[in-house]
A and B are shown apart, each in its own frame.
Chain A
Amino acid sequence: MSWYETQGYIEDPFSTKKGAFTEQSVNLKVPAAELVYNIEAGNMVLVDGPKGTGKTALLFLAIEKFEGERKVIYFDCSKDKVDIKKLMQKRYGSLGRVFNLTPRGMVLMLDNFKSLSRKELERAKYYFDNNYLRSIVFAGNGAELPENVRDRIGNRVIKLKALAAKDAVELVRNRLGSLDFLPEKIIRKIYAKSRDDAGAFLEKCKKVCQTATEGRATVVSEKHLKAIGDKRG
């Protein structure tokens, strides 16, 4: 039995899997509305921010809004080599590849676009210019984009800020439902050790909660912080 099942949860409340608990995200409501508007309006958008600020979570929030339309292509460029033409043709399955069919009005979301080759970037720009792509969303560091793409983006940049301490508390409250098991004081201490990275923060919360559950504690205390390398714990 895993720690979260012992605590009465069906799934891991601190999961960092893509698309998990997006509705519980903190501080993403306004950026999500901005992103959805820009996609709808057919703009090229950049989601900029350091690691762990919720760029991927924001993309997934937007994807949820377009659910059922089969119009969104999400691709994590750091995982695999992207071939935009193939991605587009996948929309029509094997028929698309055989008859060289390219869909129109698609939304392309390129996460971690740093790994994207210049050729594919130009191809994406071509598809955008020719209306095959209604909108392109780049997530990553904007400074790495070539000038002609940056010019097309203009001021359509959604800057995400690092998680603040109070946001971290709210995030945990949203995920756990209450702060009875993991008190605010401990959350703030875990946050201080996470260097503004939401992903790392959730991982550390998970580790601390796991240790506390294994030790049959009813509330997480400072001694459980040892699990994340806190000497004072």
Chain B
Amino acid sequence: MINVADTWYWNLGFSSNPFSTKPATLTNEVVGIQLEPILEKIDNGEIQFIEAPLGSGKTTLLKSIIARFGGKKKLIYASCIKNECLDLRGLLKNATLKGKLLNKLSNGMILMVDEAQNISREEAQEITDYLEQGNLKAVAFFGTNYNKKLLTNKLNDSLNGNITVLSYLTPEEAVELVRKRIGYVNLIPDYVIREIYGRSNSNPRRLLQNCEDVCRKASELSIKELTLTDAGTLLKTSEPAAAKKKRAIIKAKTSKKAKKYDKKKPKIKKTENHQTATVTYSGYNLENIRTYEEEMPTAKKGHEE
């Protein structure tokens, strides 16, 4: 048996990893997403598509919605797998005990489709048919990208632009997410969380993983309160080799570009009334750039108009 007491989170007073990336480890964890409009659309029997990149909280959101309908036998969850057919008929039949016993499909069900980017035309057609027959009342697709071609014309018409794109968390929301998990501990101050979030490509899942790595390493080094430098150093050491390589390439590219820009200093010509600068940066030719004082009134005016 392993000794949990050796882990960093045990030392902080947690019995399990507070930065677990399992969706909705804690209840009511949805941060930065307006849940009510989505629930309202479901109640109104609408069809909607929730689009977000990987690790941004789609499954967490889905689980929160499922929790709202818990125990009512009104909701079916299905996950689309490439090249494998969704057994929608079986799901509708087994949704209620009555359906199971009488071999009858349930009516007025809500369908939640996870990994909807993998949906096939046949599956989309099946969903359309069940919607028409009244077996399904509302459908919510969750996927990384909405592809019009994969859905049937009827489904696309019913969707009618009902696409919710989950936006990235703001740094403050990222802090809120981490605080919901770990509380107000001295080890990781808010500004360090913001820094880690920036280094996590604004991805919540990556943020939690990086927070775990940083806290674990800090605990090993007996650091009581993390600083920005500590976080930077610890994150660099926990980076996998491929990510390190990628970062190095990006850094090399940006420094090359910066050097290129430094070499091309803007030529400034002085005229009678105003300054005119001709700036050429790799193909862009911006002429007649006026000084700030002269440009401001016109810009303001234009904005007012």
Contact = CB atoms under 8 A, between A and B. Distances in A.
Interface of A: 36-37, 40-44, 65-69, 118-119, 122, 126, 128-129, 131, 147-148, 151-152, 154-157, 159
B248 interface: no
15 contacts: A40-B4, A43-B17, A44-B21, A67-B1, A118-B83, A119-B81, A122-B115, A129-B59, A148-B115, A154-B21, A154-B206, A155-B238, A155-B239, A155-B243, A156-B209
Interface of B: 1-2, 4, 7, 9, 16-17, 20-23, 54-55, 59, 63, 79, 81-84, 115, 205-206, 209, 212-213, 216, 238-241, 243
Nearest to A68: B1
Contacts of B55: 151-152
A7 B9 CA distance: 49
Contact of A119 (B9, B84, B205): B84
B209 A155 contact: yes
Contacts of B17: 40-43
A65 B1 CA distance: 5
A26 B79 CA distance: 42
B251 to A, nearest CB: 19
Contacts of B115: 122, 148
Given A118-B84, A147-B54, A151-B205, 15 more contacts: A66-B1, A66-B2, A67-B1, A68-B1, A118-B82, A118-B83, A122-B79, A129-B59, A148-B115, A151-B54, A152-B55, A154-B21, A154-B206, A155-B213, A155-B240
A154 B209 contact: yes
Given A40-B2, A65-B1, A152 B21 contact: yes
B213 A41 contact: no
A156 B205 CA distance: 13
Contacts of A69: 1
Contacts of B63: 129
A156 B22 CA distance: 14
B255 to A, nearest CB: 25
Contacts of A131: 22
A129 B77 CA distance: 13
Of A37, A41, A131, most buried by chain B (CB within 10 Å of CB) is A41
Q: Which 8 pairs, one residue from A and one from B, show the smallest C-beta to C-beta distance? A: A41-B17, A151-B54, A155-B240, A154-B209, A42-B20, A65-B2, A122-B81, A129-B23
Nearest to B82: A118
Contacts of B82: 118
A43 B84 contact: no
A1 to B, nearest CB: 40
A36 B1 CA distance: 10
